[in-house]
Amino acid sequence: MANSTDDAEKNQQDEDNFGLPDLEFKTLDQLQEQPKPDEEPVPDAEETATTTPAEEQVDHTPVYEEEESERRSSAPLVISIIIGLVVVIGSILIYQFVYKPGQEKARLAQLEKEKQAADRKAEEENQAKLAEQERLKKEAAATAKPADGSIETLGQRTGHYFVIIASSIDGDLVMDQAKKLSAKGIGSKIIPPFGKWKFYRLGIGDFDSFGNAQQSADASKADYGDGIWVMKY
Q: What is the domain-level CATH number for residue 208?
A: 3.30.70.1070
Say if CB 190 and CB 228 are below 8 A apart: no
Residue 125: which domain range?
62-144
Q: Are residues 90 and 66 in the same domain?
A: yes
C-alpha to C-alpha distance for 113 and 23, rounded to whole angstroms: 122
Paired sense of beta strands 229-232 and 188-191, if any: unpaired
Say if CB 178 and CB 151 are below 8 A apart: yes
Paired sense of beta strands 200-207 and 188-191, if any: antiparallel
Whether 116 is covered by a domain: the verdict is yes
How does pLDDT run across 121-178, given as a tens digit for each residue? 999 999 999 999 888 877 766 655 555 678 888 888 888 999 999 999 988 899 999 9
- Band of pLDDT at residue 31, cut at 50, 70 and 90: low
Neighbouring residues of 60: CB distance < 8 A, sequence distance ≥ 6: none
- Residues shown for the chain: 233
Please identify, among 96, 114, 144, the residue that sits at the C-terminal boundary of a domain: 144
Whether 106 is covered by a domain: the verdict is yes
Please identify, among 92, 125, 144, the residue that sits at the C-terminal boundary of a domain: 144
Number of domains, the chain: 2
Q: According to the model, what pLDDT value does residue 79 have? A: 87
Q: Are residues 124 and 181 in the same domain?
A: no
Please identify, among 119, 144, 169, the residue that sits at the C-terminal boundary of a domain: 144
Calculate ∠ Cα 32-33-35, nearest 5°: 95
Mean pLDDT, residues 189-193 taken together: 91
Whether 162 is covered by a domain: the verdict is yes
Paired sense of beta strands 188-191 and 151-153, if any: parallel
Q: Are residues 71 and 139 in the same domain?
A: yes
Whether 3 is covered by a domain: the verdict is no
Say if CB 153 and CB 192 are below 8 A apart: yes
Q: Is the pLDDT of residue 55 over 50?
A: no
Q: Are residues 126 and 155 in the same domain?
A: no
Q: According to the model, what pLDDT value does residue 131 have? A: 92
Q: According to the model, what pLDDT value does residue 222 have? A: 87
Q: Are residues 120 and 173 in the same domain?
A: no
Q: Are residues 180 and 116 in the same domain?
A: no
Q: According to the model, what pLDDT value does residue 158 have? A: 87
Q: According to the model, what pLDDT value does residue 46 have? A: 47
Whether 98 is covered by a domain: the verdict is yes
Say if CB 229 and CB 213 are below 8 A apart: no
